[in-house]
Amino acid sequence: MKTKIKYKRILLKLSGESFGNENGRGVETKQFITLAKEVQKIVKLGVELAIVVGGGNILRGAKLSGTGKSRIQADQVGMIATAVNALLLQDVMEGFNIEVHVISAVEIKNITEPFVLRNCLKYLKEKNVVIFAGGTGNPYFTTDTAAALRAIEINADVMLKATGVEGVYTDDPRKNGSAKLYKKLTYMDVLGQRLGVMDLTAISLSMENRLPIIVFNISRLENIKKAILGESVGTYIGE
């Protein structure tokens, strides 16, 4: 019996910290392997999967600019950090016989592919995984905004936003034990209360294009499959 999936084409947003150690820093091979195994299960369901990766485990452009460096150049270095994670993830996934393409908004000739929407859609229809690197290719825009943009461009059914907690809370649950988990929010709830789960540009872009977002805990990788099947996971953000 074929498993019934709710979302056929998804955009998975992974922060750079997903690939680091317990403090979200550096590069931990086991993190890539664990994720690749989960992706293998998802692809077997027949899902069309695109991934946007961050680079915060290696370097954050905004933080680097705070040390006196040029914000533009700092962000460009941050874009390159996302490409490092994307290429490492590609290599590990290929070890699990997953067809993967790394598409970078920042040209890295002979190593990554340039962003051409037609090619991305072709890969997805062929059930190949597409990993987007380089953010939007522009400074001052976060990888959250890049994720929203790419999700809309590929006409994704949903964006899955991986975090270090169960979803969106009334306050930071790591600092406030009384913080309550929201199961469902509207875009305007997030914008009006400035809940901080994603930057305001990403939320606004999602709202304008009616892109639903599910925020979940990356340490529970089975949540990705549950969300795809339509089970209640984390926090749902939509209309």
- Check whether 39 has a pLDDT greater than 80: yes
48 located within any domain: yes
- Check whether 65 has a pLDDT greater than 80: no
163 located within any domain: yes
pLDDT value of residue 59: 73
1 located within any domain: no
Token look-up 């600092």 returns 175
Instruction: Give 68-102 pLDDT, tens digit per residue.
Output: 668 888 888 889 999 999 999 999 999 999 999 99
- Check whether 28 has a pLDDT greater than 70: yes
Q: Count the neighbouring beta carbons within 10 Å of the beta carbon of residue 176.
A: 11
| φ/ψ of residue 236, rounded to 5 | -95, 130
pLDDT value of residue 218: 86
157 located within any domain: yes
Interacting residues of 177 by C-beta distance below 8 A, sequence separation 6+:
none
4 located within any domain: no
pLDDT value of residue 64: 58
Q: Amino acid letter at 200?
A: L
Determine contact, residues 179/170, Cβ cutoff 8 Å: yes
Report the pLDDT averaged over residues 130-137: 96
pLDDT value of residue 71: 84
d(CA 54, CA 140): 14
Which residue, 94, 87, 73, 45, is CA-closest to 224? Answer: 45
205 located within any domain: yes
- Check whether 61 has a pLDDT greater than 70: no
pLDDT value of residue 219: 85
Q: At what angle do helices 143-153 and 200-208 cross, to 10 degrees?
A: 10
Most confident of 50-59, 195-204, 208-217: 208-217
171 located within any domain: yes
121 lies in which domain range?
9-238
139 located within any domain: yes
Residue 3: pLDDT band (50, 70, 90) is confident
Query: Environment class of residue 103 by beta-carbon count within 10 Å: exposed (0-12), middle (13-18) or buried (19+)?
Result: buried
Determine contact, residues 147/52, Cβ cutoff 8 Å: yes
pLDDT value of residue 21: 83
d(CA 117, CA 216): 27
Number of domains in the chain: 1
CATH number of residue 89's parent domain: 3.40.1160.10
- Check whether 186 has a pLDDT greater than 80: yes
